[in-house]
Amino acid sequence: MTESETKASSPSRRSLIGWGGAGLALGAAAAGGAVAMTRTGNDVDPVGAETGAAVGFHGANQAGIATPVQDRLHFAAFDVTTTDRAELVQLLKDWTQAARRMTAGKAVGEGAYGGLPEAPPDDTGEALGLKPSRLTLTVGFGPSLFKKFDLADRRPDALVDLPTFAGDALDPARSNGDLCVQACADDPQVAVHAIRNLARIGMGKVVIRWSQLGFGKTSSTTPDAQTPRNLMGFKDGTRNIAGTETDRLKKFVWVGEKDVAGKSAWMVGGSYLVARRIRMHIETWDRTPLQEQEDIFGRDKGEGAPVGKAKERDEPFLKAMKPDAHVRLAHPDANHGSTILRRGYSFTDGTDGLGRLEAGLFFLAYMRDVSNGFVRIQRNLASDALNEYIQHVGSAVFAVPPGVRDKDDWWGRTLFSEEA
């Protein structure tokens, strides 16, 4: 990333407490449309990773949902520590300004150097010289936020508390959160830089509750590209919703006017996110015979074709699969048509102290309705043969507001503005 072209000409242009304090000094260029591009449609242009291009920040829906899936993830859930609603609103405005710059490949505020020596820099600097790398930043609001700020009358009915599912072993320290930020990019340092700077800006108002790094996307919103594989070696997300499928996005992902009552009209154009940290018992899996592995998934391991078919994208014949096959139980036909948009990532986080890799899938899914989407599908997966090899150890659900439409808009405006 490059430094801002406009530098401080005097100490008065910059608060000694920097972006992390109550005051926020930004040059006119930072707030103008010249910095952040506007997306059209659903941001489905398959921008190549090798170009290091920027994804437009403005749009009716937030980027990072239908956007072509990037290679790397840094996801963070935050607890809000301030009790002052005005402070939270200002933080969301400050985050939005910073996100505009970072997604455009620019430094935060006045940059990492060249400013007032007595003040901390506005940017941490580790992304200097790096391309935007298709960075997207996507924000969500957890159920607990509505309780903390007396917003119960605006909590959407679709933002349900997830029930306990069979086999759950959830760690409270890796679950829930008042806010979340999903940073996706093709360069891991760009994604980490984004979360780091948002956390720094939020110092004194929010703290990171938990975070997750991810690599090796396990789903794709660009079906013309090769389907990625998960850590079990199987292609994942063959039937995922494509970013170009406007009708399916409208039907299954974006919240529409017919979905909301007056109290939750602010969610029109938004979506709901379910995040699940799924531990894979990969050492046990690696000792499982190939035929059994294929029976568990309901697809062959090489081509990814469903049982009895020749090609990956051939329509599956569910009755040809074993009754507890994963594909059979997760398929829309087995769930009253329920469909979700997935954009999960693999992870490895060292070992568990017993010589086994702490590895698995960080599952991220967007949907128009949580109960009719993830909850219905997950309940149907109670008898999934794959459950012998996985365990859900972290969980969270968030309401993801609509996109930032222009230079005067900000994350959460529709929720917090009285006129919304």
- What is the DSSP code string of 183-244? EEESSHHHHHHHHHHHHHHTTTTEEEEEEEEEEEES--S-TTSPPPB-TTS-B--TTPPPTT
> What would the pLDDT profile of 102-152 be if each residue is shown by its tens digit?
999 999 999 999 999 999 999 999 999 999 999 999 999 999 999 999 999
Mean pLDDT of the chain: 89
Strand 341-342 and strand 345-351: pairing? unpaired
pLDDT cut 70: percent of the chain above it: 87
Does residue 99 contact residue 137 with C-beta atoms inside 8 Å?
Answer: yes
Nearest to 97 by CA among 22, 179, 12, 24: 24
More confident of the two residues 288 and 38: 288
pLDDT at site 35: 40
pLDDT at site 1: 54
Nearest to 115 by CA among 36, 23, 9, 270: 9
Indicate whether 328 pLDDT > 60. Answer: yes
Nearest to 344 by CA among 78, 52, 45, 72: 72
Token representation of residue 45: 């242009």
> What would the pLDDT profile of 280-290 be if each residue is shown by its tens digit?
999 999 999 99
Would you tell me how many other CB atoms lie within 10 Å of the CB of residue 331?
20
> What would the pLDDT profile of 341-355 be if each residue is shown by its tens digit?
999 999 999 999 999
Average pLDDT value for residue range 214-243: 92
Indicate whether 70 pLDDT > 60. Answer: yes
More confident of the two residues 7 and 118: 118
β strands within 289-342, DSSP E: 341-342
SS3 percent helix, strand, coil of the chain, rounded to 5, is 30, 20, 50
How does DSSP assign 60-104, residue by residue? SS-TTSSSPP-SEEEEEEEEE----HHHHHHHHHHHHHHHHHHHT
For residue 276, the cross-strand partners are 363, 395
Nearest to 111 by CA among 14, 21, 208, 11: 14
Indicate whether 205 pLDDT > 70. Answer: yes
For residue 363, the cross-strand partners are 276
pLDDT cut 90: percent of the chain above it: 83
Average pLDDT value for residue range 370-396: 98
Indicate whether 26 pLDDT > 80. Answer: no
Tell me how far apart the alpha carbons of residues 76 and 309 are, in angstroms, rounded to a whole number.
40
More confident of the two residues 327 and 39: 327
Would you tell me how many other CB atoms lie within 10 Å of the CB of residue 410?
21
pLDDT at site 12: 33
Does residue 92 contact residue 218 with C-beta atoms inside 8 Å?
Answer: no
pLDDT at site 96: 98
**Residue 169, class by beta-carbon neighbours within 10 Å (0-12 exposed, 13-18 middle, 19+ buried)?**
exposed
SS3 of residue 355 by DSSP: coil
> What would the pLDDT profile of 246-268 be if each residue is shown by its tens digit?
999 999 999 999 998 888 999 99
pLDDT at site 39: 60
Indicate whether 51 pLDDT > 90. Answer: no
pLDDT at site 50: 54
Indicate whether 24 pLDDT > 70. Answer: no
* Secondary element (H or E) of residue 415: helix 413-416
Token representation of residue 222: 């660009």
Indicate whether 46 pLDDT > 70. Answer: no
Average pLDDT value for residue range 154-174: 96
Tell me how far apart the alpha carbons of residues 411 and 404 are, in angstroms, rounded to a whole number.
6
Average pLDDT value for residue range 351-363: 95
Tell me how far apart the alpha carbons of residues 28 and 209 are, in angstroms, rounded to a whole number.
34
Does residue 334 contact residue 318 with C-beta atoms inside 8 Å?
Answer: yes
Indicate whether 237 pLDDT > 90. Answer: no
